[in-house]
Structure formats: C-alpha cells, structure tokens
Amino acid sequence: MHTQIKYSVLILAVMLTGLSGRPVFAEKMYKWVDEKGNTYFSDQVPPEHSQHRRESLNKQGVVVGVTERAKTKSEEALDKLLKALKEAQEKVIAQQTYHDKALRITYTKLEDLHNTFDAKLQELETEQKLTISNLKRLDNQLETLQRQAAIHERNGEKVPQKLIDQIKSTEKESQQTYVKISQHIEKRTKLSNSSMPISPVISS
C-alpha cells in the first residue's frame, strides 16, 4: 500500500506537471521519509507511519509546517531524567538564593550590632577622656587654692571664708569626677565582656 500511495501521487503529480508546467498538490499534503529512506507524499498519514517526521505542504508544494517524529522510549526516559535534573537544579538555586538572602540579612544585622557597639565604646572613651581632663583641671585648681590658703597661714592671716568654700567645692567636685571615671571604667568593662557581638563568618 505504501508503494501505491507513493507512486500514485508521484504519477499524478507528473501528469499535472505536464499539463500546467508545475506540480500541483491537494489542499493538504504531507511528506515524510521512512526508516529505509523512502520518501512519501500523501494527503493522509497511515498509522504505521505516524511516528516519522513529516512536513505539511500547501497546494504549491511549499512547506508550511513540520511535525517532529515520535520519540523513542529511551528518548522519553532521557527527557524525563533531564526534566527531573532541571527541577532539582532550580530547587538548589532557589535554596541557595534564599540562603544567600538570609545570610546577607544576618550579616547586615550583625554589622549593625558591631557598629552600635563600636559607637557606644567610642562614646564611653570620649566621655572618659573629657572626665580625666576635667579632673586634671580640678586638681590644678585645688592645688592653686591650697597654695593661696597656705600663704595666708604663713603670714599669720586668717584664711578667707570664700577661699575655704572654694577649696571645699573643688574637693567635692574632684571626688565626684573620680566617681565618674570609675563608672566609665566599669561600663567599658561590662560592654567589652558581655556585649561584644559575635563576628559573622562567611563560608565560601
């Protein structure tokens, strides 16, 4: 039957070509080649040839469409395997993307903690430097006031009450400054020992 289909169509095409000068095809024609290399033209594809790749032709014999051959079981199995591998790869990529995003968020938060810690430590250091500088100023001021009082005493004079009050006030302020320095040291120690954020570790 295959031979009849093939040759009847070819003979008809030759006859029509002789009349019109060019091959004439039906409204819808198919062209395919079997596993033996035989070429077929027909307006219908027999079931036993449906697995072959075929071309759809218009009335002028121009290819207007292609139907690829049916895949073998091995090819179908390979396609399923490739599809599964692709899905697995996409899943890994999605998980890696999520992991990277979470890692960036965590790193940013830890970096913010480090920045806050460093800023707080810097603030305490600045306050301590200012307090120590103020303490030196008070010590110098107290030393000056005490020398003035000693001059009055050496001269047999009564130390002025105003000078006495200044000495007492400076001594009190100096003691308060010592307390502030101790508090700063305690704050820095606590901050360094218990508030140090863990550095983020990025694994490659």
H/E/C letters for each residue in the chain? Answer: CHHHHHHHHHHHHHHHHHHHCCCCCCCCEEEEECCCCCEEEECCCCHHHCCCCEEEECCCCCEEEEECCCCCHHHHHHHHHHHHHHHHHHHHHHHHHHHHHHHHHHHHHHHHHHHHHHHHHHHHHHHHHHHHHHHHHHHHHHHHHHHHHHHHHHCCCCCCHHHHHHHHHHHHHHHHHHHHHHHHHHHHHHHHHHCCCCCCCCCC
Q: Are residues 30 and 111 in the same domain?
A: no
Same domain, 12 and 101: no
Answer yes or no: do 96 and 24 share one domain: no
**174: CB partners within 8 A, 6+ apart:** 135, 138, 139, 142
Q: Which residues of the chain have pLDDT under 50?
A: 1-22, 195, 198-204
- Pick the last residue of a domain from 20, 40, 70: 70
44 and 99 housed in the same domain? no
Same domain, 63 and 121: no
Q: In the prediction, which pLDDT does 127 show?
A: 87
- Asked if residue 77 belongs to a domain, the reply is no
Tell me: do 186 and 114 sit in the same domain: yes
Give the pLDDT of residue 92.
78
pTM above 0.75, yes or no: no
User: Does residue 154 share a domain with residue 106?
Assistant: yes
Residues 47 and 109 in one domain: no
> Do both 104 and 184 map to the same domain?
yes
Number of domains in the chain: 2
Asked if 103 and 172 sit in the same domain, the reply is yes
> Does any domain span residue 60?
yes
Same domain, 116 and 174: yes
Q: Domain span at residue 59?
A: 2-70
Specify if 86 maps to a domain.
no
